[in-house]
Amino acid sequence: MRTVKEAEERRNEILDAAERLFTQKGYQKSTVVDILNAVGIAKGTFYYYFKSKEEVMDAMIERIVLEDVRKAEQIVKDSTLTPVQKICGIIQVQQPVNGDRKDQMLEQFHCPCNAEIHQKSIVQSILCLSPILAEAVRQGIDEGIFHTDYPQEVMEILISSGQVLFDPAVVSWGPDVMAEKMEAFLSSMEILLGAERGSFECMRELLAARE
């Protein structure tokens, strides 16, 4: 058990150092040698854990998404929340705090030269969060709040479209157009979930915060 723990600690040490390096210097300008120097390890040690700089970034994306998943799981298990509150709560905790680790990494994802990395992060979010959100939808179906035969697929559609429409690094809308997109998204959300009109007013503030 001690050996496994030390291996995990070393792997996280590499990820932490690379993360600092990528946010300070930029992913494209950073090299494996830079990571080695930042951690103070030999090349062989690095390649024991990762095959390339790209694999390091993949692991960072996975780590960020897993943190989001843990937060989402806590919310969906909270029996005091309604299905709508769970969905809004899960989406809210995905938002980065200005200047925190996730916010800094998202800046790297949004660089045009890192488009492939950004795409990977979106795909991982869809794959990992949609099953958890679907649990809240199924609860809503059981309670007669939602009416859909495709709880997970609906959430996949909403996550993927929301990631693009309301990410200012992807598409920049003017205030008036943004307001229209927001109304259309909320209406689509209610239609796809078979919810009453106005059910997702809690989403309005969350979407506005992404402008």
Going by pLDDT thresholds of 50, 70 and 90, the confidence category of residue 192 is very high
Plot region of 46 (φ>0 → left; ψ -120 to 50 → alpha; else → beta) = alpha
Please tell me which residue, 50 or 109, carries the higher pLDDT value. 50
Q: What DSSP element (H or E) covers 27?
A: none
- Residues 151, 134 contacting (CB under 8 angstroms): yes
pLDDT at 110: 65
What is the rounded distance in angstroms from the CA atom of residue 69 to the CA atom of residue 71?
5
Task: Tell whether pTM > 0.85.
Answer: no
What is the rounded distance in angstroms from the CA atom of residue 134 to the CA atom of residue 131?
5
**Short-list 173, 11, 195, CA closest to 88:** 195
Residue 108 token pair: 């790297």
- Residues 67, 15 contacting (CB under 8 angstroms): no
Going by pLDDT thresholds of 50, 70 and 90, the confidence category of residue 1 is very low
What is the rounded distance in angstroms from the CA atom of residue 197 to the CA atom of residue 61?
36
Residue 42 token pair: 């030999």
Domains, the chain, with CATH or none = 1-51 (1.10.10.60), 53-208 (1.10.357.10)
Tens digits of residue pLDDT in 95-151: 776 767 776 777 766 676 667 777 888 888 899 999 999 999 999 999 999 999 999
